[in-house]
Amino acid sequence: MREDWKKHLVDSGAEFEGDELVHYGNPERERQMAVNGDVICDLSHRGLLEIRGADATEFLQGQFGNDIRQVDERHAQLSSYASPKGRTYAVFRVLRTQDGFLLEMPADRVEPVAKRLQMFVLRSDVIIEQAGDSRIRFGLSGPDAEKELQDALGACPAEIHEVVEKDGVTALRVQGVHPRFELFGGFDAMRRLWDALNVRGAPVGPHEWQLLDILAGIPSVVEATTEMFVPQMLNLHALGAISFDKGCYPGQEVVARMHYLGKLKRRMFRLAIQDGEPPTPGMPVFRADGKPDQADGELVAVELHPDGQYSALAVLKVDAAEAELRCGAPDGAPVTLCDLPYDVPEGA
Protein backbone atom coordinates (compact mmCIF):
# COMPACT_ATOMS: atom_id res chain seq x y z
CA MET A 1 0.00 0.00 0.00
CA ARG A 2 1.24 3.49 -0.84
CA GLU A 3 2.36 5.45 2.19
CA ASP A 4 0.38 8.57 1.26
CA TRP A 5 -2.82 6.55 0.99
CA LYS A 6 -2.07 4.59 4.16
CA LYS A 7 -1.68 7.87 6.06
CA HIS A 8 -5.02 9.06 4.69
CA LEU A 9 -6.71 5.86 5.87
CA VAL A 10 -5.11 6.12 9.31
CA ASP A 11 -6.48 9.67 9.53
CA SER A 12 -9.89 8.14 8.75
CA GLY A 13 -9.56 5.73 11.70
CA ALA A 14 -8.00 2.68 10.04
CA GLU A 15 -6.10 0.23 12.23
CA PHE A 16 -3.27 -1.84 10.75
CA GLU A 17 -1.43 -5.02 11.66
CA GLY A 18 1.92 -4.52 9.98
CA ASP A 19 1.08 -3.36 6.47
CA GLU A 20 -2.40 -4.91 6.44
CA LEU A 21 -5.51 -2.88 7.16
CA VAL A 22 -7.77 -4.91 9.46
CA HIS A 23 -10.63 -2.65 10.59
CA TYR A 24 -11.69 0.80 11.79
CA GLY A 25 -11.97 0.07 15.50
CA ASN A 26 -15.26 -1.86 15.69
CA PRO A 27 -15.31 -5.01 13.50
CA GLU A 28 -18.73 -6.14 14.74
CA ARG A 29 -20.35 -2.83 13.83
CA GLU A 30 -18.53 -2.82 10.49
CA ARG A 31 -20.00 -6.24 9.63
CA GLN A 32 -23.49 -4.96 10.46
CA MET A 33 -23.00 -1.87 8.33
CA ALA A 34 -21.60 -3.82 5.38
CA VAL A 35 -24.72 -5.97 5.17
CA ASN A 36 -27.31 -3.29 5.95
CA GLY A 37 -25.87 0.17 5.35
CA ASP A 38 -23.69 2.35 3.13
CA VAL A 39 -19.97 1.56 3.41
CA ILE A 40 -16.65 2.40 1.77
CA CYS A 41 -13.74 -0.04 1.76
CA ASP A 42 -10.11 0.30 0.71
CA LEU A 43 -9.30 -2.39 -1.88
CA SER A 44 -5.53 -2.57 -1.43
CA HIS A 45 -5.98 -6.20 -0.33
CA ARG A 46 -6.85 -6.91 -3.98
CA GLY A 47 -3.99 -7.18 -6.48
CA LEU A 48 -3.69 -5.50 -9.86
CA LEU A 49 -1.94 -6.85 -12.94
CA GLU A 50 -1.48 -4.62 -15.99
CA ILE A 51 -1.06 -6.05 -19.49
CA ARG A 52 -0.36 -3.67 -22.35
CA GLY A 53 1.25 -3.57 -25.78
CA ALA A 54 0.21 -3.78 -29.41
CA ASP A 55 -0.57 -7.51 -29.14
CA ALA A 56 -2.23 -7.45 -25.70
CA THR A 57 -5.79 -8.07 -26.93
CA GLU A 58 -4.87 -10.97 -29.20
CA PHE A 59 -2.57 -12.45 -26.57
CA LEU A 60 -5.12 -12.40 -23.74
CA GLN A 61 -7.86 -13.66 -26.05
CA GLY A 62 -5.86 -16.88 -26.35
CA GLN A 63 -5.37 -17.21 -22.60
CA PHE A 64 -8.61 -16.36 -20.76
CA GLY A 65 -12.03 -18.02 -20.64
CA ASN A 66 -14.10 -14.96 -21.55
CA ASP A 67 -14.10 -12.89 -24.75
CA ILE A 68 -11.76 -10.03 -23.94
CA ARG A 69 -12.75 -8.25 -27.15
CA GLN A 70 -15.96 -7.26 -25.35
CA VAL A 71 -13.97 -5.19 -22.84
CA ASP A 72 -13.75 -1.50 -23.74
CA GLU A 73 -13.72 1.87 -22.02
CA ARG A 74 -17.41 1.43 -21.12
CA HIS A 75 -17.56 -2.27 -20.25
CA ALA A 76 -15.55 -4.49 -17.90
CA GLN A 77 -16.03 -8.24 -17.45
CA LEU A 78 -15.54 -11.15 -15.06
CA SER A 79 -13.16 -13.77 -16.43
CA SER A 80 -10.81 -16.59 -15.42
CA TYR A 81 -7.52 -18.27 -16.25
CA ALA A 82 -7.31 -22.07 -16.29
CA SER A 83 -4.75 -24.84 -16.67
CA PRO A 84 -4.70 -27.07 -19.77
CA LYS A 85 -6.77 -29.52 -17.71
CA GLY A 86 -9.47 -26.87 -17.26
CA ARG A 87 -8.72 -26.16 -13.58
CA THR A 88 -8.97 -22.54 -12.51
CA TYR A 89 -5.84 -20.60 -11.52
CA ALA A 90 -7.62 -17.31 -10.88
CA VAL A 91 -10.91 -15.43 -11.21
CA PHE A 92 -10.63 -11.70 -11.88
CA ARG A 93 -12.28 -8.57 -13.22
CA VAL A 94 -10.89 -7.11 -16.45
CA LEU A 95 -10.93 -3.36 -17.19
CA ARG A 96 -9.66 -1.49 -20.24
CA THR A 97 -6.92 1.10 -19.93
CA GLN A 98 -5.67 3.56 -22.52
CA ASP A 99 -3.11 1.10 -23.88
CA GLY A 100 -4.05 -2.26 -22.36
CA PHE A 101 -5.94 -4.03 -19.59
CA LEU A 102 -6.10 -4.21 -15.81
CA LEU A 103 -6.80 -7.52 -14.05
CA GLU A 104 -8.08 -7.23 -10.47
CA MET A 105 -7.81 -10.38 -8.33
CA PRO A 106 -6.81 -11.65 -4.86
CA ALA A 107 -3.31 -10.38 -4.14
CA ASP A 108 -1.82 -13.88 -3.76
CA ARG A 109 -2.75 -14.76 -7.36
CA VAL A 110 -1.05 -11.80 -9.06
CA GLU A 111 2.50 -13.16 -9.15
CA PRO A 112 1.56 -16.73 -10.20
CA VAL A 113 -0.72 -15.46 -12.98
CA ALA A 114 1.92 -12.99 -14.17
CA LYS A 115 4.59 -15.72 -14.29
CA ARG A 116 2.35 -18.10 -16.20
CA LEU A 117 1.29 -15.46 -18.72
CA GLN A 118 4.92 -14.48 -19.24
CA MET A 119 5.70 -18.05 -20.33
CA PHE A 120 3.52 -17.59 -23.42
CA VAL A 121 4.48 -14.06 -24.49
CA LEU A 122 7.36 -15.27 -26.72
CA ARG A 123 7.79 -12.59 -29.42
CA SER A 124 4.45 -10.86 -28.89
CA ASP A 125 4.46 -7.13 -28.15
CA VAL A 126 3.11 -7.60 -24.63
CA ILE A 127 4.27 -6.13 -21.31
CA ILE A 128 3.06 -7.68 -18.03
CA GLU A 129 3.52 -5.71 -14.82
CA GLN A 130 2.22 -5.78 -11.26
CA ALA A 131 0.35 -2.52 -10.76
CA GLY A 132 -0.97 -2.54 -7.20
CA ASP A 133 0.42 0.92 -6.42
CA SER A 134 -0.41 2.50 -9.77
CA ARG A 135 -3.95 3.40 -8.78
CA ILE A 136 -5.78 4.09 -5.54
CA ARG A 137 -8.80 1.78 -5.22
CA PHE A 138 -11.76 1.56 -2.91
CA GLY A 139 -15.27 0.16 -2.97
CA LEU A 140 -18.68 1.67 -2.23
CA SER A 141 -21.77 -0.38 -1.32
CA GLY A 142 -25.17 0.20 0.21
CA PRO A 143 -28.86 0.94 -0.30
CA ASP A 144 -28.07 4.58 -1.13
CA ALA A 145 -24.71 3.98 -2.83
CA GLU A 146 -26.01 4.91 -6.28
CA LYS A 147 -27.26 8.30 -5.12
CA GLU A 148 -24.18 8.94 -3.01
CA LEU A 149 -21.83 8.24 -5.93
CA GLN A 150 -23.89 10.37 -8.29
CA ASP A 151 -23.85 13.27 -5.85
CA ALA A 152 -20.13 12.96 -5.05
CA LEU A 153 -18.75 12.19 -8.52
CA GLY A 154 -21.44 13.48 -10.84
CA ALA A 155 -21.61 10.12 -12.63
CA CYS A 156 -22.69 6.57 -11.82
CA PRO A 157 -22.68 3.34 -13.87
CA ALA A 158 -26.22 1.98 -14.23
CA GLU A 159 -25.57 -1.66 -15.21
CA ILE A 160 -23.39 -4.47 -13.85
CA HIS A 161 -19.91 -4.30 -15.47
CA GLU A 162 -20.61 -0.80 -16.84
CA VAL A 163 -17.69 1.62 -16.50
CA VAL A 164 -17.79 5.43 -16.39
CA GLU A 165 -14.93 7.90 -16.06
CA LYS A 166 -15.24 11.35 -14.49
CA ASP A 167 -12.70 13.81 -13.09
CA GLY A 168 -9.86 11.30 -12.97
CA VAL A 169 -11.94 8.51 -11.40
CA THR A 170 -12.96 5.23 -13.06
CA ALA A 171 -16.16 3.78 -11.57
CA LEU A 172 -17.16 0.15 -12.18
CA ARG A 173 -20.49 -1.32 -11.09
CA VAL A 174 -20.22 -4.88 -9.71
CA GLN A 175 -22.68 -7.45 -8.38
CA GLY A 176 -23.94 -6.96 -4.84
CA VAL A 177 -26.89 -7.38 -2.49
CA HIS A 178 -27.05 -3.55 -2.68
CA PRO A 179 -25.76 -1.25 -5.43
CA ARG A 180 -21.99 -1.75 -5.34
CA PHE A 181 -19.08 -0.06 -7.09
CA GLU A 182 -15.30 -0.30 -7.39
CA LEU A 183 -13.49 3.01 -7.89
CA PHE A 184 -10.01 3.61 -9.34
CA GLY A 185 -7.91 6.74 -9.76
CA GLY A 186 -4.99 8.91 -8.74
CA PHE A 187 -4.32 9.92 -5.16
CA ASP A 188 -5.79 13.44 -5.17
CA ALA A 189 -9.00 12.49 -6.99
CA MET A 190 -9.56 9.44 -4.84
CA ARG A 191 -8.83 11.28 -1.60
CA ARG A 192 -11.47 13.88 -2.47
CA LEU A 193 -13.99 11.19 -3.40
CA TRP A 194 -13.29 9.17 -0.22
CA ASP A 195 -13.80 12.25 1.94
CA ALA A 196 -17.08 13.07 0.18
CA LEU A 197 -18.45 9.52 0.53
CA ASN A 198 -17.16 9.21 4.10
CA VAL A 199 -19.75 11.77 5.23
CA ARG A 200 -22.58 9.20 5.04
CA GLY A 201 -20.72 5.95 4.37
CA ALA A 202 -18.94 4.02 7.11
CA PRO A 203 -15.38 2.80 6.39
CA VAL A 204 -15.04 -0.98 6.77
CA GLY A 205 -12.19 -3.46 6.55
CA PRO A 206 -11.34 -5.92 3.75
CA HIS A 207 -13.17 -8.85 5.34
CA GLU A 208 -16.44 -6.96 4.98
CA TRP A 209 -15.89 -6.45 1.24
CA GLN A 210 -15.13 -10.14 0.88
CA LEU A 211 -18.35 -10.90 2.78
CA LEU A 212 -20.25 -8.81 0.22
CA ASP A 213 -18.66 -10.86 -2.58
CA ILE A 214 -19.87 -14.04 -0.87
CA LEU A 215 -23.41 -12.71 -0.43
CA ALA A 216 -23.39 -11.76 -4.12
CA GLY A 217 -22.24 -15.28 -5.08
CA ILE A 218 -18.99 -14.06 -6.65
CA PRO A 219 -16.26 -16.71 -6.37
CA SER A 220 -12.59 -16.14 -5.76
CA VAL A 221 -9.63 -18.47 -6.19
CA VAL A 222 -6.77 -18.15 -3.71
CA GLU A 223 -3.57 -20.11 -3.20
CA ALA A 224 -5.36 -22.78 -1.13
CA THR A 225 -7.91 -23.47 -3.90
CA THR A 226 -5.91 -22.96 -7.08
CA GLU A 227 -6.58 -25.66 -9.71
CA MET A 228 -9.34 -27.27 -7.62
CA PHE A 229 -12.33 -26.28 -9.77
CA VAL A 230 -13.43 -26.23 -13.41
CA PRO A 231 -14.89 -22.76 -14.19
CA GLN A 232 -18.49 -24.04 -14.36
CA MET A 233 -18.15 -25.49 -10.86
CA LEU A 234 -17.66 -21.87 -9.71
CA ASN A 235 -20.89 -20.82 -11.49
CA LEU A 236 -18.90 -18.67 -13.90
CA HIS A 237 -21.22 -19.64 -16.76
CA ALA A 238 -24.17 -18.29 -14.73
CA LEU A 239 -22.25 -15.05 -14.14
CA GLY A 240 -21.49 -14.43 -17.81
CA ALA A 241 -17.78 -15.07 -17.21
CA ILE A 242 -17.29 -17.79 -19.86
CA SER A 243 -17.51 -17.45 -23.63
CA PHE A 244 -18.33 -20.66 -25.48
CA ASP A 245 -17.69 -19.34 -28.99
CA LYS A 246 -14.49 -17.27 -28.69
CA GLY A 247 -11.97 -19.89 -29.85
CA CYS A 248 -9.15 -21.74 -28.17
CA TYR A 249 -7.56 -21.05 -24.78
CA PRO A 250 -5.99 -23.28 -22.08
CA GLY A 251 -8.59 -25.73 -20.74
CA GLN A 252 -11.09 -24.83 -23.48
CA GLU A 253 -11.74 -28.46 -24.45
CA VAL A 254 -12.65 -29.41 -20.87
CA VAL A 255 -14.90 -26.36 -20.44
CA ALA A 256 -16.61 -26.90 -23.82
CA ARG A 257 -17.12 -30.63 -23.24
CA MET A 258 -18.84 -29.94 -19.93
CA HIS A 259 -21.00 -27.27 -21.57
CA TYR A 260 -22.14 -29.22 -24.62
CA LEU A 261 -22.13 -32.81 -23.42
CA GLY A 262 -22.33 -32.82 -19.65
CA LYS A 263 -24.60 -32.09 -16.73
CA LEU A 264 -23.03 -30.40 -13.75
CA LYS A 265 -22.39 -32.89 -10.97
CA ARG A 266 -20.66 -30.24 -8.83
CA ARG A 267 -21.43 -26.54 -8.59
CA MET A 268 -21.15 -23.63 -6.20
CA PHE A 269 -23.67 -23.05 -3.39
CA ARG A 270 -23.92 -20.43 -0.67
CA LEU A 271 -23.78 -21.75 2.89
CA ALA A 272 -24.22 -20.64 6.48
CA ILE A 273 -21.89 -22.46 8.87
CA GLN A 274 -22.58 -22.53 12.59
CA ASP A 275 -19.93 -21.77 15.21
CA GLY A 276 -17.04 -24.18 15.34
CA GLU A 277 -13.47 -24.26 14.11
CA PRO A 278 -12.99 -21.12 11.97
CA PRO A 279 -13.42 -22.40 8.40
CA THR A 280 -10.99 -21.52 5.62
CA PRO A 281 -10.99 -21.83 1.80
CA GLY A 282 -10.31 -25.38 0.69
CA MET A 283 -11.76 -26.94 3.85
CA PRO A 284 -13.88 -30.03 3.01
CA VAL A 285 -17.64 -30.31 3.43
CA PHE A 286 -19.21 -33.69 4.30
CA ARG A 287 -22.59 -35.31 4.61
CA ALA A 288 -23.35 -35.88 8.28
CA ASP A 289 -23.61 -39.62 7.57
CA GLY A 290 -20.56 -39.65 5.27
CA LYS A 291 -17.06 -41.02 5.66
CA PRO A 292 -14.09 -38.89 6.79
CA ASP A 293 -12.14 -39.75 3.62
CA GLN A 294 -15.01 -38.96 1.19
CA ALA A 295 -15.71 -35.22 1.10
CA ASP A 296 -18.78 -33.94 -0.76
CA GLY A 297 -17.35 -30.51 -1.46
CA GLU A 298 -14.85 -27.79 -0.58
CA LEU A 299 -15.15 -24.23 0.65
CA VAL A 300 -14.36 -21.52 -1.90
CA ALA A 301 -14.59 -18.43 0.33
CA VAL A 302 -15.72 -17.77 3.89
CA GLU A 303 -16.21 -14.75 6.17
CA LEU A 304 -17.92 -14.10 9.49
CA HIS A 305 -21.50 -12.80 9.11
CA PRO A 306 -23.05 -10.32 11.58
CA ASP A 307 -25.60 -12.99 12.59
CA GLY A 308 -22.73 -14.87 14.28
CA GLN A 309 -22.48 -17.63 11.67
CA TYR A 310 -19.93 -17.93 8.89
CA SER A 311 -21.13 -17.08 5.41
CA ALA A 312 -19.44 -19.17 2.72
CA LEU A 313 -19.38 -20.25 -0.88
CA ALA A 314 -18.64 -23.92 -1.52
CA VAL A 315 -18.46 -26.26 -4.50
CA LEU A 316 -20.62 -29.27 -3.63
CA LYS A 317 -21.79 -32.42 -5.31
CA VAL A 318 -25.27 -31.53 -6.53
CA ASP A 319 -26.75 -34.76 -5.16
CA ALA A 320 -25.34 -33.92 -1.70
CA ALA A 321 -26.95 -30.48 -1.53
CA GLU A 322 -30.20 -31.82 -0.09
CA ALA A 323 -28.42 -33.88 2.59
CA GLU A 324 -27.50 -32.83 6.11
CA LEU A 325 -24.07 -31.26 5.72
CA ARG A 326 -21.18 -30.57 8.07
CA CYS A 327 -18.02 -28.49 7.69
CA GLY A 328 -14.55 -29.98 8.16
CA ALA A 329 -15.67 -33.48 9.16
CA PRO A 330 -18.86 -35.60 9.17
CA ASP A 331 -19.36 -34.52 12.80
CA GLY A 332 -18.23 -30.93 12.24
CA ALA A 333 -20.16 -27.66 12.41
CA PRO A 334 -23.68 -27.87 10.92
CA VAL A 335 -24.18 -26.29 7.50
CA THR A 336 -27.33 -24.67 6.06
CA LEU A 337 -27.84 -23.93 2.36
CA CYS A 338 -28.79 -20.34 1.46
CA ASP A 339 -30.16 -18.81 -1.73
CA LEU A 340 -27.86 -17.34 -4.35
CA PRO A 341 -28.94 -14.03 -5.94
CA TYR A 342 -28.90 -15.57 -9.44
CA ASP A 343 -30.09 -18.75 -11.13
CA VAL A 344 -27.66 -21.53 -12.07
CA PRO A 345 -28.63 -23.59 -15.16
CA GLU A 346 -29.10 -27.29 -14.45
CA GLY A 347 -26.98 -28.16 -17.45
CA ALA A 348 -23.38 -27.00 -17.60
Looking at this protein, which amino acid is placed at residue 253? E
Its sign, for the CA torsion 196, 201, 203, 208, is negative
Cβ distance 56 to 67 under 8 Å? no
Q: Are 39 and 141 in contact (CB under 8 A)?
A: yes
Q: Which amino acid is present at 143?
A: P
User: Do residues 142 and 39 lie in contact, with contact meaning Cβ atoms separated by under 8 Å?
Assistant: yes
Buried b (16+ CB within 10 A) or exposed e, 100-111: bbbbbbbeebbe
Q: Report the chain's terminal Cα–Cα distance, integer Å.
A: 40
Work out the angle at residue 63's Cα, subtended by the Cα atoms of residues 126 and 108, and round it to the nearest 5 degrees. 85
**182 annotated as belonging to a binding site for a ligand:** yes
CA angle 289, 293, 295 (to 5 degrees): 65
DSSP letter, residue 66: S
Q: Which residues are registered as beta bridge partners of 35?
A: none
Which amino acid, 93? R
- In 3D space, the residue among 223, 237, 248 whose CA is nearest the CA of residue 301 turns out to be 223
Sequence letter at residue 31: R
Question: What is the C-alpha separation between 7 and 1, in angstroms, rounded?
Answer: 10
The residues, any chain, with a CB within 8 Å of residue 326's CB and separated by 6 or more, are 285, 286, 287, 288, 332, 333, 334, 335
Residues placed in the known binding site: 182
Residues placed in the known binding site for substrate: 182
